[in-house]
Amino acid sequence: MHFIVYCIDHPGMVERRLANYDAHKAWLETSPLRTLISGPLTELDGTMIGSFFLYEADDIENVRAFASRDPFNVAGIWETVDIRAFLKRVDNR
């Protein structure tokens, strides 16, 4: 199954986000999930305001558990973490 993880930062988290980036990146490399797409959400000016992931996983609980231990979440950067099942209908790659 596919799952989207959509995370919005608390206001003013750019510096904290950058300070935790290396730990976050290292954490993602340990993922038991298959990462199809990931990257920061931004304002139009490029300011990072959150994170987006598209995972392939057996069940949502594995995705929840992985996201809950992400260094960005542990450091209190993310204000909201929304995890939803995703049904891919079109893939034009």
Q: List the pLDDT tens digit at each of the 93 positions of the chain.
A: 999 999 999 999 999 999 999 999 999 999 999 999 999 999 999 999 999 999 999 999 999 999 999 999 999 999 999 999 999 888 887
Look up residue 5 and give its two tokens. Answer: 């993880």
Specify whether the CB–CB gap between 1 and 18 falls below 8 A.
no
Look up residue 19 and give its two tokens. Answer: 């300070």
CA distance 76 to 93: 35
CATH number, domain containing residue 63? 3.30.70.1060
62 located within any domain: yes
9 located within any domain: yes
Residue 32, pLDDT score: 93
Residue 91, pLDDT score: 83
Question: Whole-prediction pTM value?
Answer: 0.93
CA distance 10 to 43: 14
Residue 93, pLDDT score: 79
| CA-wise closest residue to 79 among 9, 11, 15 | 9
Domain that holds residue 80: 2-86
81 located within any domain: yes
